[in-house]
A and B are shown apart, each in its own frame.
Chain A
Amino acid sequence: MRRFLLPGLVTAAAVALLALLTFGVSQQNDRSSIDSQVAHGKFPAAPNARQALPLLSGHGTASLADFRGKVVVLNVFASWCDPCKAEAPILAKEQPILAKHNATLVGVTYKDLSSATEQFDRQYHLTYPVLRDVSGSFVSSFGATGVPETFVINRKGQIQALQRFPITAKWLNETLPRILEEKS
């Protein structure tokens, strides 16, 4: 019995470390999976759609599920990010157009100060709802590792298009019309 004590302890320690490693790996976001599915036309459901996030205004919470039936252009941004500043005027211009087609932009802040985001909103006249993902878990479930990133979620709650880099007006014009035309 005693002769198995040391090998047993070593094996148990190895198994414990392996379990810890597996847990760590499983917690990683699966960015490539979302990207490849979208690229192959298999639109994955938007992750954590029911996760309620606090609104930047400080009044209540909202989740993606609250926008079901609408096309949602989810923009992950931060006030300290220069490319976000570059695309903010494009998004501000797009929101009224989207609103006419039962669609909306939704901003999600990425590791940003609420006061700085509010100032950013005022500066660029952003009128759409902005959610705060303080823990980063919501943004992480989309495989986002930086800013800006933009996801177009169709009326069924599936990610139909995405842009891991700053968007352009051209990209929006090419991407949105066909998604907006689709019925839920």
Chain B
Amino acid sequence: MSRGRVVTLALSLAVALGPVAAAQAATAPKASYLDVVNDVMCVVCHEPLGVAQSPEAFQERDYIRQLIAQGKTRKEIENDLVIQYGPAVLSRPPAHGVNLLVYIIPPVVLVVGIVTLAIFLPRWRRRARDAGPPSAAKAKPLDASEASASTTSSGATRRRTATSSPAPRPPAATGPAGWSGASPVRARSERTRSPRAPSPPPCSRGRSR
């Protein structure tokens, strides 16, 4: 085959197939069916279109297939769906009007919650620490002389027996670094809650009235 004939054949093929290729490119799918279906709702049953089984859902899916076959992009398909079914067809509502609340409220609630916790959590912890954990006071072991003195009172014996089992907590574990456990508030708290200075039982207070 001569060189001239090859060139002629190639040119004629290009002329013949050019429009076909262009037409194919124009109608080639530009959107994935699954991508579109996953972002769209069945407007009657209010379920994701991918799983909806209502007659309307079948019609909606057919319509999407037609639009994909026409070579429309995902955005164009969504616009067409909104024209036909209204904004409710989109699984993510458009961010304007009352729908804005959907986008505003969750982050606002999250930020307010974090700020509230940031403000109040240290206060609550400080207050709880100032009040002193009851287990810390109870965990303080009695020395031998106190132990012998306390055996004279059966109530005190019971209390010691009940409170001597937990291991004593080191002071560093109950507060921030550098806290020695000797602050006036802490000392007062321990004095009032110490088993060595028990408060009178409620019944005795009642009788004194």
Verify that A and B bind, or say they do not: yes
> Could you count the A-B residue pairs with CB atoms below 8 Å apart for me: how many are there?
37
With an 8 A cutoff between CB atoms, is A6 at the interface? yes
Q: A10's closest neighbor in chain B, by CB? A: B116
Q: B54's closest neighbor in chain A, by CB? A: A80
Q: Is the CB of B84 within 8 A of A113?
A: yes
Partner pick for B58 among A80, A111, A134, CB 8 A cutoff? A80
With an 8 A cutoff between CB atoms, is B103 at the interface? no
With an 8 A cutoff between CB atoms, is B36 at the interface? no
In the complex, chain A residues whose CB is within 8 Å of the CB of B101:
20
Measured between C-beta atoms, what is the minimum distance from A18 to chain B in Å? Answer: 14
Interchain CA distance A96-B176 in the complex, whole Å: 89
Partner pick for A135 among B44, B59, B86, B112, CB 8 A cutoff? B86
Measured between C-beta atoms, what is the minimum distance from A61 to chain B in Å? Answer: 15
With an 8 A cutoff between CB atoms, is A1 at the interface? no
Interface of B is mostly: helix
Interchain CA distance A112-B58 in the complex, whole Å: 12
Interface residues of A, count at CB 8 A: 18
Interchain CA distance A112-B42 in the complex, whole Å: 11
In the complex, chain B residues whose CB is within 8 Å of the CB of A25:
none
Q: Is the CB of B59 within 8 A of A80?
A: yes
Interface size classification for chain B? 10 to 19
Q: Is the CB of B116 within 8 A of A111?
A: no
Q: Is the CB of B55 within 8 A of A80?
A: yes
Q: Is the CB of A78 within 8 A of B56?
A: yes
Using A80-B55, A134-B85 as known contacts, list a sample of 10 further A-B pairs with CB atoms less than 8 Å apart, ordered by residue number in A.
A9-B116, A13-B112, A80-B58, A81-B55, A82-B55, A113-B84, A116-B59, A134-B83, A134-B86, A135-B86
Show the binding face of B for A, using Cβ within 8 Å.
43-44, 55-56, 58-59, 63, 83-88, 101, 109, 112, 116, 119-120
Show the binding face of A for B, using Cβ within 8 Å.
5-6, 9, 13, 20, 78-82, 111-114, 116, 134-136
Please give me the 7 A-B residue pairs with the lowest Cβ-Cβ distance, nearest first. Answer: A80-B55, A135-B86, A111-B43, A134-B86, A80-B59, A80-B56, A113-B84
